[in-house]
Amino acid sequence: MTDVISSPSNFGDAAVELYYGGQRLYPAPLIDFSRKTNRSADDSALSVEDTWSLRGVYINNDNMGYENVVTEMEDLKTIFAQDGLELVIKAGAGSQTLPSGTTITSGIYPFVESIGIPEEVTQFHRFNYEVNLIAKSAASGVSGVVENATDNWQFNENSDRLTTVVQHSVSAKGINTNTSGVSNALTNAKAFVDSRLGTSAVPSNYPSYVIPGDVDGDTSTIFEFQRTRSENVSVEDGSYEITESFVFVSGTVPFSDGRTYGYDKTKEGIVTININGSVEGYPRTDGTDEPYGGFYNAQSGWINALQPYLYAEADEVYGRYGASGTLATKAITYNITENRFLGTVGYAVSYTDDPGENLPSGIVEQSITIQRTDAIRMQQSHTIPHRRLGNIVQDIGTPTVGQYRMQASSRAENTNDAVADTNRAISHIQDLMNQQRPNPSEFLTLRLLSKDQSHDKLSLTANATVVYEFSVDLATVQEANTDIILNPVT
């Protein structure tokens, strides 16, 4: 491959020298330069396409014949047969302002778009030519060279969880900037799309209307989780698209909670408050990038921010719908489910005002039964042989002895210390029985007849039976011909 140089070189010393791929064109062609800027829908610059149109002439004044002109045409086509060679413009010996050889333009590696040699009557000793070169580059601050692109955000409220569902799609059609080998248009499109993904790319101060949105202008209080992604690739036209969806939740901790409350009242008047919900943590858990990070944040949110206040919220619901008793502070059901990959902790907790469930700390079951056998008038039956009217019943004029029996049982909560847990059950039934033991002032005499105790360290249970005997004034004894009167509970 040789230079294309007119002969003889009677143009004098050139002021400017032009080279492509190291091959000189003489005389230097005139240059027509234009720039096209590809823009997105909002007029942001995406890429730049610079076009150099080289309009030159080759002259053969040596009468070397038409074949020489054709040879130079072939040399011209050979010079521009390859894309991506460097276009260089230097000062020539005839320059009045720069030393000869000074580089004026370099570092341009264009595509050869076209070569034109128009038909002319003078073509036997000369020819004109036009070569169009295009160089493509990304606009300032843009990753990847693309000719068009879209970047769309959609924000939708989820009032059940106080979250915002975000749909984000980015697409681009790449421009090939690889002047040799396989087109890199798809690579350029992907580079553009990848640079605009994730929550860091959310437009400043958005979302601004939906709730939760930008919290006091501080997007650091917006956390992302539950991300899903889809990807579309077109190798043929170098297009690439990503659609991602995720959830925003605002606050000081990276989790979201959604729950429901249930108020159930039985015909016996027992009220149960049921709380069901789930906690979802940020960020997305994928097993490689921050493995289970979302789950640990969900777990921390449940343990530290939600669980301690659950009873207070249940008690508020209890009073809101007319209940007037006392809601037991100890939950009657407490169920936790977790999904580490999804980063969720589910929970179901219930409270009741059933007096039998209002248990002290460390006790899971209790029962106490009081049985009182009251004194009656003592009567003696006498058998008279052959008496048609049967036995003779004689009123002795004194009451029988009454009996007061207490039976109590308890089961302790398991703390993995069988002795301490069983003793806690024993101590609890002791307290129950002392609260219910008979008042000596109600009887003429009262004596302890028996005290039986049993326990089981395997089941963490304790049982006790205590029996008293008492006597009362005959005047207080129930008569057979009067209404039945039962002793009220005190």
Give me the DSSP letters along 180-231: SSS--HHHHHHHHHHTT-SGGGSPTT-S-SSSS--STT-GGGEEEEEEEEEE
Burial letters for 96-109: b for 16+ Cβ neighbours within 10 Å, e otherwise? eeeeeeeeeeeebb
Q: What are the chain's domains?
A: 4-138 (2.40.30), 146-250 (no CATH), 255-357 (no CATH), 363-476 (2.40.30)
Cα–Cα distance, 279 to 375 (Å, whole number): 62
Cβ count within 10 A of residue 355: 11
The sign of the dihedral angle between the CA atoms of 191, 194, 196, 200 is negative
For the whole model, what pTM was predicted?
0.52
C-alpha 160/C-alpha 362 separation (Å) is 36
- Per-residue model confidence as pLDDT tens for the chain (490 residues): 566 665 545 556 888 999 998 998 888 898 998 988 888 877 778 888 889 999 988 887 666 667 778 888 888 899 898 888 888 999 988 888 999 999 998 888 888 899 998 877 566 677 889 999 988 887 776 676 778 888 999 988 876 666 788 899 999 988 888 877 788 889 989 998 998 888 778 887 777 777 665 444 455 556 666 668 899 999 988 999 999 887 776 665 678 788 899 999 999 999 999 999 998 887 655 555 556 777 888 898 899 989 999 999 999 999 999 888 899 988 999 999 998 887 889 999 999 999 888 888 899 899 999 999 998 888 888 888 888 888 888 888 788 899 999 999 999 999 999 999 999 999 999 999 999 999 999 999 999 999 999 999 999 999 999 999 999 988 888 888 888 888 888 7
- Alpha helices, DSSP H only, in 246-309? 293-300
At 117 the three-state DSSP class reads coil
Give the strand order in the sheet containing 30-39. Answer: 30-39, 45-59, 126-138, 111-116
Query: Is 20 within 8 Å of 80 (Cβ atoms)?
Result: yes
**How far does CA 456 lie from the centroid of its chain?**
47
Cα 277–282–288 angle (5° rounding)?
125
Using CA atoms, how far apart are residues 454 and 71, in angstroms rounded to an integer? 119
